[in-house]
């Protein structure tokens, strides 16, 4: 059963398209400022969640290691065309 709302919300693709369009004319300085603002927000959220920078870095390292292991496993054991 789908939820019927009185307002049609844009899809993720539409929101991304609008965001890209809005940022198209940004200068390099504006883009760098936006990245810095995003990083600041992530750190603030992490601090509010009680995770330290070291914990986040350890989590990122563990995720990257898991991805590397999965890629190695698939390269070793997956048959070409098996996903078809």
Read off the pLDDT of residues 26-47 as tens digits, 9 standing for 90 and up: 898 998 999 999 999 988 887 7
pLDDT at 2 over 70: no
d(CA 49, CA 56): 11
- How much is the pLDDT for 40? 92
The Cα-based distances of 35 to 31, 55, 84 in angstroms read 6, 21, 39
Nearest CA among 34, 36, 12, 14 for reference residue 23: 34
pLDDT at 51 over 80: no
DSSP strand E in the chain: where?
Answer: none
d(CA 84, CA 75): 17
Mean pLDDT score of the chain:
84
Q: What is the mean pLDDT of residues 74-82?
A: 76
Terminal-to-terminal C-alpha distance of the chain: 31
pLDDT at 83 over 70: no
pLDDT at 17 over 80: yes
Percent of the chain at pLDDT > 70 equals 90
DSSP strand E in 43-83: where?
Answer: none
């Amino acid at each position: 059963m789908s939820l019927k709302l009185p307002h049609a919300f844009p899809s993720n693709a539409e929101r991304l398209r609008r965001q890209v369009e809005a940022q198209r004319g940004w200068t390099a300085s504006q883009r760098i400022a936006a990245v810095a603002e995003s990083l600041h927000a992530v750190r603030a959220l992490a601090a509010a969640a009680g995770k330290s920078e070291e914990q986040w870095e350890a989590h990122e390292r563990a995720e990257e290691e898991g991805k590397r292991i999965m890629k190695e496993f698939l390269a070793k054991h997956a048959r070409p065309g098996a996903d078809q």
